[in-house]
Structure 1
Amino acid sequence: MRERVGGVGGILKTLFHIVDVEWSWIQTIQGKPDFQEDFSLHATLDKVRKLDAKFRLDVEPFVLAWHEGLEQKRFEDHLPDGRIVIDAWGELMRHVIAHQIHHIGQLSVWSREVGKPPVSANVIGKGLIEIEDRANSL
């Protein structure tokens, strides 16, 4: 809970932020309702983990169903000032990924500050992209 430089104030708040923002972007991309979670309702590691498990029910199927045809799908964001910003779904998904990696770096630094091993940013071998015959590729 200690306030830290960077992130959104501390380790737990940053973990909450990662979960909340990932879900929010996935909801928004799909045109589904989005809302801002209240950190005070999730101010323990167990509660953040439960929120992550709850949101994963929405996030995981979308990510696992991703295909090349979604890369250029049009996303229109209507800003409060009336402007419309148009992006591709692929660009937005890469933003979500960059957001995750950015915070992994912060968590790694904070882990070292408290004497723990750094958080790994390695995504190689995590099966993020399905290949037809992974066993034969080794």
Structure 2
Amino acid sequence: MQTFFRYNWMVREEWYKWCEDLTEEELLKPRVGGVGGILKTLFHIADVEWSWTMGMVGKPDFQEDFAEFSSLEKVRELDARFRLEVEPFVLSWNEGMERNVFTEQQPDGSMAANAWGEIMRHMIAHEIHHIGQLSVWAREVGKKPPSANVIGKGLVDNLPGKV
């Protein structure tokens, strides 16, 4: 679990760096698919990760307004602030947490219950899904996207024969 969160955080940082060469206009330009654009998608990824984590640990979640974070610097700062709460939870993850239950009220008034392990895997898949969308948009603006390859990122330590 932790390996894929570290992977997502590493790739997200690569995307922030990649975005530094784009104009604000390109970052904010409405695009087909996803949540509507490059910067808005990066904002959404960090916000969703934080929101689910807050729900699992029983802290209040609030909806951030993208209009208040519509620059690369502001999204990065928000992500860093969120990570201060998300990372300790992820790093404390253990098998005993897999079946903890998170319940939430649905818009229709019914209650939904999900296992924490399922939510954590959803959070991982959610970001990978949106990174794929960013990769398509990167090609549309004529730039090579950061690599999505897990291999070679040094995420697994202490392997026999690894130098």
Q: If the length of structure 1 is used for normalisation, what is the TM-score?
A: 0.89
Instruction: Please tell me the root mean square deviation across aligned C-alpha atoms, in Å.
Output: 1.6
Residue number in structure 2 paired with 1:61: 88
- Distance in structure 2 (CA, Å) of the matches to 1:39 and 1:63: 25
Match of 2:124 among 92, 97, 112: 97
Residue number in structure 1 paired with 2:78: 51
Q: Whose relative contact order is higher, 1 or 2, with alpha carbons under 8 Å and at least 6 apart?
A: 2
Q: 1:19-72 CA deviation, whole Å, 9 max, x = no partner? A: 111111111111110000011110000000000111010011011111111111
- Distance in structure 2 (CA, Å) of the matches to 1:126 and 1:51: 26
Moved beyond 6 Å, runs of 4+:
none
Q: 1:62-121 CA deviation, whole Å, 9 max, x = no partner? A: 111111111111222222433221111000001111100000100111111111112322
Among all aligned residue pairs of Structure 1 and Structure 2, give the percentage whose two residues are the same amino acid: 64
Deviation at 1:7, TM superposition (A): 1.1
Count, aligned residues: 134
Residue number in structure 1 paired with 2:112: 85
Match of 1:18 among 45, 52, 57: 45
Residue number in structure 1 paired with 2:17: none
Tell whether the 8 Å contact from 2:55 to 2:102 is kept in structure 1 after alignment.
no
The answer for unaligned runs of 5 or more in structure 1 is none
